[in-house]
Structure 1
Amino acid sequence: MLKTLLMLKHLKIEGVLINFIVDNFSQDEFASLFNGNVLELQFKYNIFNQKNLDMLLKEEVIKRTDEYVDNLIQKSEEQNIKIISYFDDRYPTALRNINKRPLFVYLKGNEKILNAESTIACVGTRNPSKKASDSVENIVSNLVGHGIVIVSGLAKGIDTNAHRACINNKGKTIAVLAHGLDKIYPKENARLAEKILENDGLLLTEYPVDTEIKKDYFVARNRIVSGISNSVIIFEADEKSGTMHTARFAYKQGKKIFCPVNIYDEVDNLSSGVSKLLSTRSAYPFNNANEILNLIFGEKKQKKEIGQSLTPQYLKLNVYDDNEHEFIENHLIEIDRFLLNKLEEMAMNQNLTLQELILNTFRDKVNGDGILDE
């Protein structure tokens, strides 16, 4: 079935139509797609538009597509690149739930870490400050010590620092690329890509070999960076940088976003994106890896020396019950100590009660006023 799916993709058949074909066509009907009998399928299912029919009925087009796909499969095999379709059981579980999920992923390396229990994306500017670079080294080394798989995009700067810090601390890392796996961009990271594979890591892309490098592909790549991760750390970024695309994707995918507050306080220009994420409460501020681990994974990932400082607390709120059309007084909500401290601090700074702050935040989300919305 893989070859048929690759041919349909190359012929620019819509994803919804491909889903229908996979769900409803028999093996014989699959074969009929490219042997001139597509009109019989159209008579039975009435699913193809005229453009689809014109394409599928042209013998020369089908022949060229067949040759292209055979060549693609052969080149991929020669370079140890695995091709996994959305309909394959090996397709990354996390990607199945995102918007605009890729029909294919191309892999090189340790496929098993794709479905690792704990993955965190570490991204940021291509021109990091020394403080940001030091923060990446410190945070990544601690995360790796807890068995976290580090995800990034192999770009210059923060991405490179994150991959290297992971490898140097004997961790596993996934690099998500915006082009085929037959090349590495930027070229100076070719050796880093090799080290990722040598250290049981993984290179991943949605693009086949021989794909031309395009600017738009780097933006699209970021939805996969956040998509395969439990959460995302934005170490340092300008408000108008490509990193903010990753933040937006993560936000829409419901992933937790984290930003280091010490960098936010001291680097105004490069961290304007971080400043916006924090000021709009779209990201959690943090000072160390343990705070991140607690918020994402709970107590099981904490070090013993943290003690009770981050144990769950209970917050009483007056909540409106839509079903009963009335307010429920003193409704208990479980919340960790670290987040509660941050909420109390934010409420004080805004001269609000904790109840008012949380209700205002909830109202903003419901009304679609989140600053990250494009």
Structure 2
Amino acid sequence: QRVTVSLSLSPAGQGPGAGPGDTQEVTVSLSLSPAGQGPGDTQGVIVSLSLSPAGQGPGPGPGDTQGVTCPCPCPQQDKAQVQAQVTSLLGELRESQNRLERSRAEREHLERRARSDAERCQQLEEVTQGHQVQLDQLRLQVTNLETALRVERRGATEEKRKLVQLQAAYHHLFQEYDAHIKASLEGDKRSQEQLRAAEAALALKQDLIDRLKAEAERQRAALETIPVLQAQADIYRADFEAERAAREQLHGQREALQEELKQLRLRLGGDGARYGNTRKKTQTTQKTPQNTPKHHPPHPILVPPNPLSFGGVPPPPEEGPDLCCPKCQYKAPDMDTLQIHVMDCIK
């Protein structure tokens, strides 16, 4: 069946003093057209629903249908369909109310945004007015600048005319200056040649002066060195004389010791010959006719006496002196060579 439901939101049967906990009755008008009938054949069904709001006892909650009455004789199946449609419509009603609340909140948000945009627009208008004032001021400045520019252009034209006159005067002065410069350059060239000749002569004089100064410094250094070297030569000469005297004394002592050693050797040689003859005689007298060997004590072996045992003095070791030049540290092989080198080195 095709059911058309017309829902009225005005509650029926309530007085002005009804409280929020009272039962509400909603009148629903339905048009039922059973299958097989035309669109013009409709049956009017009035359904009375009893709704209990949220917060009541264990009875049915909101949205549940109670006390459904139908004055017309209709099948039980049609009643169930109508009851289901009414329940669906109540759910759609709640959903519509929720959408309405959301729409109201969104409208309030949009209104706030609109007020904010309006305030911002007003501020922008004020800024725009300020910019307009600035624009007018700038236009006035542009007008003043254009006037000043025209004045400057007239002044520039006058200056240009004066510049042409000055260029003509400058050209004339430049020609005079060029002629004067050429004459000055010729004079400068002659002066430079004279200056170069004078500088060359001065350089030669300065070179001669430098050489003379260097020679004077060398002579002064030589004069300062001569006393020192003379004193060193005197010291070396005194040392050399003392060393020569010591060497002569040592040489005399060595010759005396050698002579004494020679005499001691001659004496020892005579004593040794006499000792040999005595030994031969002793061996001859000790021989016997028997061939039986007898035990004889060993004879002492005579060792040549050491000259030191007779109070002799050994010759001193000959150590060569350090023959070195005091100025350049040259090592000479002998004293004569050192003396010749020292004289040459000092000169």
Check whether TM > 0.5: no
TM-score by length of structure 2 reads 0.15
* Higher RCO, Cα 8 Å, sep 6+: 1
Higher helix proportion (structure 1 or 2): 2
TM-score by length of structure 1 reads 0.14
Higher strand proportion (structure 1 or 2): 1
Specify the structure having the higher radius of gyration (Cα).
Answer: 2
